[in-house]
Homo-oligomer: A and B are copies of this chain.
Amino acid sequence: MAKPEILKSIKDILDKYVAKKNLRKTQERYRILEFIYDLDKHFDVDELHRKLKESDFSVSKATVYNTLELLLDAGLVRKHHFSNNTAYYEKSYFNKAHDHLIITDRNGKVEQIIEFCDPRIDAIRADLEQHLNIHISDHDLYFYAKKI
């Protein structure tokens, strides 16, 4: 179970987001948010949908997609595309920006994800922004290693 103060903070963020956008405070949105913050690794939509079903709270896949989209926009989750065609998500609050080392098996299936954070990325980013006179909103850095 996520720590109570974290739970409070993320609900608060969702409250504000929902209020600002004039959306409704549905059970689904809050339950899915809490559920995600109880997970400790990256997950795909199917996995989340299945685990929600296994828990007491079952929702449709459409709602999972909708809610993830909303949480993404609210900055409460991050979305990743590793080197296959499935999107992966992870909670993002109290979980500072980071990069990934993806370890796959021989077939390219994701086996393990190691997170790290390196300040040199921000330096590259700053240089790019200055050099091209643009604003970079985000980045993805993935290193790949194959399991022997």
Contacts and interface: CB of A to CB of B under 8 A. Distances in A.
Interface in A107-148: 114, 116, 118, 120-121, 123-125, 127-128, 132, 134-146
A137 B55 CA distance: 39
Nearest to A123: B120
A139 B103 CA distance: 12
Number of copies: 2
Main secondary structure of the interface of A (DSSP, over half): strand
A16 to B, nearest CB: 23
Interface of A: 79, 81-85, 87, 101, 103, 114, 116, 118, 120-121, 123-125, 127-128, 132, 134-146
Contact of A142 (B79, B118, B127, B139): B139
A141 B144 contact: no
From A81, A128, A138, A143, name the one whose CB has the most chain B CB atoms within 10 angstroms: A143
